[in-house]
Homo-oligomer: A and B are copies of this chain.
Amino acid sequence: MPPTSTELPVAVFDSGVGGLTVLHECLVSLPHEDYLYLGDTARFPYGDRSPRELLAFARELAGILLDEGTKLLVVACNSATAAALPALREELEGRVPLIGVVRPESRLAAAATRSGRVGLIATPATVASGAYERALADASGGRAELHAVASAELAPMIQNGGEVDERTVECVERACAPLRGARVDTVILGCTHYPLVRPVLQRTLGREVEIVSSGEAIAAEVERELDAAGLSAPTDRRGDYRFLASGDPEAFRRLGTRFLQLPIAGVRHVEVVPAGPVPAATGAAA
């Protein structure tokens, strides 16, 4: 007998381990749900990919997760959300609800800013999409102004998982300098990897700048969506979690355990279509 819909897991996908920051917040709010996480580590980073490629990736990953069985899909990758969410939502209409990371963050930022000057740090793909400009304009009724900084380096530096060193600090300082110059009072972390260096970011931006990341807002949206669709699991159980990775499962397990602070027993490998080279000569970002 196939499981009924309420018994299916919530599925989350990302280009790597960054989306675990979103999964963590879902586990805090909804510990009774089951989760299925897919990290596309074989094709990481996403940050310099074209919108067309990102849509193809997102479609493929959504397909894998639907085959595994899921009642709700979270795109926990800002580059993929910015490039693919509207098209993907249309394609999956009536099959599974879909939640992305751009809108919830923009809402939080619009609510947090007092000066109306909001900063964004994100990958080149996310910044180029203009998705945050639109979402912030929507969320603030046109009252907030976005100052966007593209960083091709920060997400890969975090995903590599090394020690925070002078290079990391310099990279963060480079990203923050124009935002300090623009005197923003709120900064959106437009990549799910960035909360993992939040201490460095907060020191560089200072106490008076509010840092907005999407995890908690997405968890709230997942809860609302499940409730609205009558798909919530009973709250008197403890959920289960499973992990899939398109790259090396052991590397994912190690990084994931550190980033999520959640013991990850096993990671199953899944095959994806190999990615072409990143178009831009400058390299890479998530």
Contact = CB atoms under 8 A, between A and B. Distances in A.
A200 interface: yes
B207 A29 contact: yes
A263 B206 contact: no
Interface stretch (A1-9, A142-150, A162-170): A162-170
Q: Which of A28, A31, A202 has the most CB of B within 10 A?
A: A28
A163 B257 contact: yes
Contacts of A200: 261-262
Contact of A164 (B164, B168, B202, B261): B261
Contact of A258 (B28, B163, B203, B261): B163
Contacts of A168: 261, 263
A197 B263 CA distance: 13
Nearest to A164: B261
A58 to B, nearest CB: 27
Contacts of A262: 164, 169, 199-200, 203
A28 B261 contact: no
A-side interface mostly: helix
A157 interface: no
B169 A28 contact: no
B164 A27 contact: no
A24 interface: yes
A112 interface: no
Contact of A263 (B29, B166, B254, B258): B166
A168 B203 CA distance: 28
5 cross-chain pairs, A with B, having the tightest CB-CB distances, nearest first: A164-B261, A199-B261, A29-B207, A200-B261, A165-B263
Nearest to A166: B263
